[in-house]
């Protein structure tokens, strides 16, 4: 059977900060239907890599291919329009608006027709429906009318996810989505991501190993900017280099 073409492919990506090689010849890919997790110790270069894929940081060399196209020279906005989605660590939520309105603004931004400005946003049934669908997906429909500033930390992360999904991404970059979620929130989000992968493949940076091991189809381990191992959960769990360099487990 022919291999499915990757949706995202990094080829020999490089980025240095002075003498520090934060991304050292990294090649990896994400295929349709999968969660590819990127793990590694603090300072290994995970966020630096995500920023280069998203377009907020320019690589020194190498290639970023998305859907078969080299996107290395595109801006963040151009990449978003092509379907590269992400949730931001710095929140893009407007705190004074309701959860529903925040998602509606995301939906609206995909439609790009100026005549909509003449129609009050909250009365546009198609926008409301589309936004409610995304809020339901992330299990936040019951909180639709709550002002974003009053949502809990976990709920705000769910809202950010709904806003990212409203842009109809073909791939999601998730940088530590479990951070600050608490056990219940992490469990819910894990369940959600587990089903989401079939619609949207995910490149996942996450420190929560329980979540990574239960979700990832493949894992790449980054240490000092280099991928030291890449494979299935079992392959990574039993890889001697990984255990020594990162997991620090007994035996
Ligand atoms: N703008 C920058 N200027 C200089 N050095 C930087 C910059 N951004 C990151 N670094 C350095 O690059 C290395 C990789 O950092 P990065 O934040 O990508 O690691 P990380 O794996 O995401 O870490 P963490 O798990 O703690 O979030 C670190 O040594 C960091 O100090």
The rounded distance, in Å, linking the Cα atoms of 128 and 61 is 43
The rounded distance, in Å, linking the Cα atoms of 188 and 106 is 23
If one residue of 46, 205, 224 were mutated to test the ligand 1 pocket, choosing by the most ligand atoms within 8 A of its CB, it would be 46
pLDDT at 228: 94
pLDDT at 31: 96
The rounded distance, in Å, linking the Cα atoms of 237 and 147 is 43
If one residue of 13, 15, 24, 45 were mutated to test the ligand 1 pocket, choosing by the most ligand atoms within 8 A of its CB, it would be 45
| Site residues for ligand 1, CB cut-off 6 Å | 17, 20, 22, 40, 42-48
Average pLDDT per 10 consecutive residues for the chain, totaling 251 residues? 81 97 97 96 94 96 96 93 80 88 89 59 82 91 96 88 91 90 83 90 92 95 95 94 70 46
- First-last CA distance in the chain: 39
Helix (H, G, I), strand (E, B) or coil at 194: helix
Domain 1-83+169-251 annotated CATH 3.30.420.340: no
Return the domain boundaries, the chain.
1-83+169-251, 93-167
Q: Which of 3, 4, 8 is nearest to 63 (CA)?
A: 8
Pairing of strands 226-231, 218-223: antiparallel
pLDDT at 248: 59
């Amino acid at each position: 059977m022919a291999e499915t073409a990757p949706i995202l492919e990094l080829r020999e990506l490089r980025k240095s900060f002075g003498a520090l090689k934060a991304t050292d010849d990294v090649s990896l890919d994400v295929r349709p239907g999968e969660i590819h997790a990127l793990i590694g110790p603090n300072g290994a270069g995970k966020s630096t890599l995500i920023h280069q894929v998203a377009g907020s940081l320019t690589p020194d060399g190498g290639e970023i291919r998305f859907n078969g196209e080299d996107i290395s020279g595109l801006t963040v906005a151009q990449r978003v329009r092509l379907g590269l989605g992400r949730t931001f660590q710095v929140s893009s939520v407007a705190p004074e608006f309701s959860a529903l309105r925040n998602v509606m603004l995301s939906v609206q931004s995909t439609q790009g027709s100026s005549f909509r400005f003449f129609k009050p946003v909250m009365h546009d049934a198609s926008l409301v429906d589309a936004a409610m669908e995304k809020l339901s997906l992330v299990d936040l429909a019951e909180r639709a009318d709550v002002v974003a500033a009053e949502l809990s930390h976990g709920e705000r992360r769910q809202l950010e996810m709904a806003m990212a999904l409203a842009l109809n991404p073909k791939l999601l970059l998730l940088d530590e989505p479990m951070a600050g979620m608490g056990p219940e929130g992490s469990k819910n989000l894990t369940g959600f991501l587990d089903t989401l992968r079939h619609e949207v493949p995910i490149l996942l940076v996450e420190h929560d190993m329980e979540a990574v091991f239960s979700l990832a189809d493949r894992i790449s381990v980054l240490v000092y900017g280099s991928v030291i191992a890449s494979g299935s959960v079992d392959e990574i769990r039993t890889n001697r280099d990984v255990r020594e360099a990162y997991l620090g487990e007994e035996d």
